Amino acid sequence: MYHVGPLRLDLLKRELMCAGRAVPLLPREYRLLEYLMQHEGQVVSRTMLLEAVWDYRLEERTNVIDVHISRLRKKLDETGHAPMIETVRGLGYRLRAPD
């Protein structure tokens, strides 16, 4: 299980809870959030995400990461908690617990 702020990701049940409330995730969203939670506080590059979550070996010009990050942010925002996924301009993304 991973814990970041109000988020609890249960690896056995493959479900996300936010402050005791279930947040439905699609399989790719789950894998993306799992990777971000494993690297909490660290900047993860698009290449790292493509390799780990999509199993791509080359960085391709695609907006697939942007689309999934946007969907994941929307689902997390609906829980009423402060935004946790940051865009680090020119580098990638970082998941941080709200202050």
The string of pLDDT tens digits covering residues 58-90 is 666 778 899 999 999 999 888 887 889 999 999
pLDDT at position 61 is 73
Which residues lie closer than 8 Å to 88 by C-beta, 6 or more apart?
Answer: 43, 94
- Read off the pLDDT of residues 11-30 as tens digits, 9 standing for 90 and up: 999 999 998 889 999 999 99
Domains of the chain in sequence order: 25-89 (1.10.10.10)
Give the whole-angstrom CA distance, residue 92 versus residue 62: 14
Q: At which residue do the structure tokens 């689309």 appear?
A: 67
pLDDT at position 80 is 81
The mean-pLDDT minimum among 11-15, 46-50, 60-64, 94-98 falls in 60-64
Structure tokens at 36: 């971000």
Residue 65's Cα: distance from chain center in Å?
A: 10
Residue type, 82: A
Calculate Rg over the CA atoms of the chain: 13
pLDDT at position 53 is 92
For the entire predicted model, the pTM comes to 0.90
